[in-house]
Every structure is written in C-alpha cells, then in structure tokens.
Amino acid sequence: MPFAFRPDDKSSEKAVRRIAGELLETSRLILDDASLPRETLVHELRKNVKKTRALLRLVRPGFRDFERENAALREAARLIAPLRDADVLTLTFDRAVARTDLPRAETAALRDRLAPASGDAIKPEERLEAHRQALATIAAGIEDWKIRHKGFDSLSGGLERSWDACRRSMRKARDKTGAESLHLFRKRVKDHWYHARLLSPIWPEMMAAHVSACDKLGEALGDARDLANLVETLGTDAFAGDEIAAAIAATAGDEEAKLLAKSWRAGARLFAEPAPALARRWRNWWDVWRG
C-alpha cells in the first residue's frame, strides 16, 4: 500500500489508523517470509517502524497517547537494532579502504580489530520474535487511537514542529560536526521526508522534487555520519600510533567533508523558509486536493 494520505480517507484520524495498521501488517508478513535474507528483513522492519513513528509525529500535538505509542515503537526498534548496527562500522571501513592503495594484509588485520567481539553474542531469532510480539501489541491498540483535531489542523502542528527540528538540528550539526550530531540531523530530515511522502498526493508534481531533495540529503547525511563514526573510532587510544588506521581515517575524513559541504548547501536551500510559511502553502494545496 502507498505510504500516503488518500482522498477517500474519511478523516485524518482514520487515515493515521489505516496507514499505521498497514505498516505493522506489512512487518508481520515480512517476518513470516522465510525466503528473505536477514539483512533485507531487518532493513524493512526498521524502515516500517521509522515510518510509523514519523506518522505519529505528524499528528503529535493532537494525539494524546503519542508518548506511550512512540516509546513502544522505539523499544520495538531497539530490539532489532544490533542486527544491523554490528556490521555498519566494518562496511564503512571497507568503502574507505577501497579508495586507498594501502596494503591489503594490513587493512584486513585492522578490519578484524574493528569487528564486533564474538563474546557479545546476538541471538537473531529471539530478537525478531520479541520484535514481532512488540508490534502485535501496538497493532492491537490502533483502533483506540484518538486525534483531537480535524483535517489539516491535525497535521499542521506536527509538520511545523518537525520542520523547526530540522532547522535547529542542522545549525547544531554545523556548529559541532560529529557522528552524534549528524545522526540527530539525519533523523529529523528523515522525519520530514516521511511527512512529505505522506502528503505527496496534495500536489504530486510539486511534492516530488521536495521529496527527492529530502531523500538525497538524508542519504548523504547517513553516509557522512557513518564516516564520522569510523574516523572517531580510529582516533581512539586503541588505534593510537597505527599508521594504517591514521591513513584510513584521513581518507574517510576527506570523503565526509565533501559530503557535508554538499549537505550544508542542500539543507540551507531546503529549510530556507520558516515553518509557518511551509505549513500555510501545504494547507492551501491540501484544501484544493480535498475540495
């Protein structure tokens, strides 16, 4: 099902229930599909949780149970996060090494030192089953969700809040660049990307460019964040004095700088107007679409 509001939705409350229900049902079906590679499975499950949380943020001001449901979704995501996060550092390391002419034997030895400790065992099946149960509990309560406001009034507050969060987190990330600040900025950009996708039917031709710009910025920030994390890791005491580690960190840092230079320009253009102006423009398009 398309991740978007539909013209035949009876109300924004019913639309939110419908979309959330579709996302969680999709996750249930994914968990039942034994043919999916685990990497794909985990990616899709994490994506569905992110979409659902972004959906709830869009109606947050009028959704009394936001904190409870958001916390439940956050916990569901936490259960499976290690299934992906364990490999991110080494994958980023591999990409950085591919841009160098460093001796492969030395880089392979360094990679082994970056790999997660085998003693910290992750039990995928247990985590996936716990994720399934967490989503089932959330899905069972969807029909009881109540949203105070009607029409675009139920969306404008969350839309403006998300937009302002993007602008604030961008300023903070520029002032103090690092893996954590980039991660926070990327999360806020992703939230708005999902909001734009949800509202894309109000004027598809105009919204398409906005959605695409958000997507590209989010991906660039994600890559920059991974590179920043690698640079920070290779700069710890565990790798002090290692010339190979220093060379790879320098390569990763250069690539991060290039990505960020593009990202700051893209972000400045994308988030140039204040939140009320964006909400007012999209409200007008919504009214024409729903009229």
Region 89-112: mean pLDDT is 92
What pLDDT shows up at residue 124?
85
pLDDT at 178: 85
Residue 129 domain flag: yes
What percentage of the chain has pLDDT greater than the value 90? 86
pTM: 0.92
Domain containing 171: what range? Answer: 12-290
| pLDDT reported for residue 38 | 84
pLDDT at 153 over 70: yes
Tokens for 94, please give them: 């591999």
Asked whether residue 161 is domain-assigned, the answer is yes
Residue 114: pLDDT band (50, 70, 90) is: confident
For range 76-96, the mean pLDDT = 87
pLDDT, mean over the chain: 93
Q: What is the pLDDT of residues 20-54, one digit of tens each?
A: 999 999 999 999 998 998 889 999 999 999 999 99
Does residue 251 lie within any of the structural domains? yes
Length, in residues, of the chain:
291
Q: Is residue 247 part of a domain?
A: yes
Q: Is residue 4 part of a domain?
A: no
Give domain status of residue 23, yes or no. yes
- pLDDT number for residue 93: 94
pLDDT bracket for residue 117 (50, 70, 90): very low
**What number is the average pLDDT over the span 201-229?**
96
Nearest CA to 93 out of 262, 267, 233 is that of: 233
Give a yes or no: residue 125 inside a domain: yes
Non-local CB neighbours of 153 within 8 Å, separated by 6+ positions: 62
The number of beta carbons lying within 10 Å of the beta carbon of residue 200 is: 19
| 6 within some domain | no
Measured CA distances, 16 to 19, 195, 222, 240, 290 (Å) = 5, 12, 28, 51, 16
- Range of weakest confidence among 3-12, 41-50, 96-105, 113-122: 113-122
Is a pLDDT exceeding 80 seen at residue 241? yes
Is the separation of the CB atoms in 163 and 275 below 8 Å? Answer: yes
Beta pairing partners, 63: 147
pLDDT tens column, 245-264: 999 999 999 999 999 999 99
pLDDT above 70: percentage of residues in the chain: 96
Distances (CA, A) of 285 to 34, 62, 202: 43, 21, 6
Query: Could you tell me the CATH number of the domain that includes residue 161?
Result: 1.40.20.10
Distance CA 146, CA 63 (A): 6
Q: How many domains does the chain have?
A: 1
* Dist CA 214 CA 97 (whole Å): 29
Could you tell me the CA-to-CA distances from 63 to 16, 60, 218 in Å, in that order?
A: 11, 5, 27
Q: Is the Cβ–Cβ distance between 161 and 99 less than 8 Å?
A: no
Q: Is the pLDDT of residue 120 over 80?
A: no
How confident is the model over 12-18, as a mean pLDDT? 97
Q: Residue range 134-163: average pLDDT?
A: 97
